[in-house]
Amino acid sequence: MKTEEFRKLVATFNDDQTPRVWSLLVTVFGELTQGKDVHVSGSMLSRICAEIAIKPEAMRVALHRLRKNGWINSQKSGRTSDYFLTSYGLEETLKARPIIYATRPPSERAWLCICNSGQQKPEGVVSTGAQSFVTNTQPSDSDLFAIELQPDESLPCWMFDKICDPNTISEAVLLAEKLRSLNGVLNANVNFSPLQTAVLRILIVHSWRRIVLKVPPLPDHMFGSNWAGKYCRSTCHDFLIRFPKPDLDELTCS
């Protein structure tokens, strides 16, 4: 695809807004560096950012922030620098990957539980009130009242709002609209350079990552009838299969 056409596509997907650069770079490292000691050159990061209309000074500030926060490190390579994930950055990336790249929801079943006054709730559950919570693990504590929530269960809106922030639900709806539009543009004959493919994947993964990492690990039916996350998950996966990730060597030589 011609450079100007591709940048127009990127701008449309981003609603003519520049993503938070440090957050986007976390996605870049997570997408391109999946193992220990995998380096990305500063020039490669600059090329990726240029395609997304991110200014060089904004990229430098973001890289400084990620270094300061212990996410990445760098080393000199000639007149430029190479960047790579620290042990902490790699650990956090590997922790998030199964959630971001999953093809199925994290669980298929959920239970609503009510506990006695003063009884401590288990870790990792989603609180819906002072004495109630939702969990994806069948409770074994006999002191709890528990009922499994079926996919056709009619829950009150306030409970859906407790389970997942309404803003996150709205963000998923907006992403679904973008993905539908993108699907209409990317016909079977479209051709991308390795760099364009990498950028497209980064934008798709980043958009989904910003949503799915804020969502509790519950079945899709626990987020209400307006939940577009199921469509986003499957469509993002379809795009990633359709446009395989180019190797770093291929990106460097393109």
Query: Which CATH number goes with the domain that contains 185?
Result: 1.10.10.10
**Phi, psi at residue 17, to the nearest 5°?**
-120, 145
Q: How far apart are alpha carbons 211 and 14 in whole angstroms?
A: 15
- Both 139 and 116 in one domain: the answer is yes
Cα dihedral 58, 64, 69, 70, rounded to 10, equals 130
Residue 153: its pLDDT value, please?
82
How large is the C-alpha radius of gyration of the chain? 21
Tell whether 156 is covered by a domain.
no
pLDDT at 1: 86
Q: What is the pLDDT of residue 202?
A: 97
- Report if residue 153 sits inside a domain: no
> What range does the domain containing 122 cover?
111-148
pLDDT at 186: 85
Residues 117, 243 within the same domain: no
Amino acid of residue 217: P
Q: Are residues 101 and 122 in the same domain?
A: no
- One domain, residues 170 and 191: yes
Q: Is residue 125 part of a domain?
A: yes
Residues of the chain with pLDDT under 70: 35-36, 188
Q: Please report, as a single letter, which amino acid is at residue 238.
A: D
Gap between the Cα atoms of 80 and 119, Å rounded: 58
* Whether the predicted model's global pTM rises above the 0.75 cut: yes
Give Cβ neighbours of residue 118 (< 8 Å, ≥ 6 apart). Answer: none
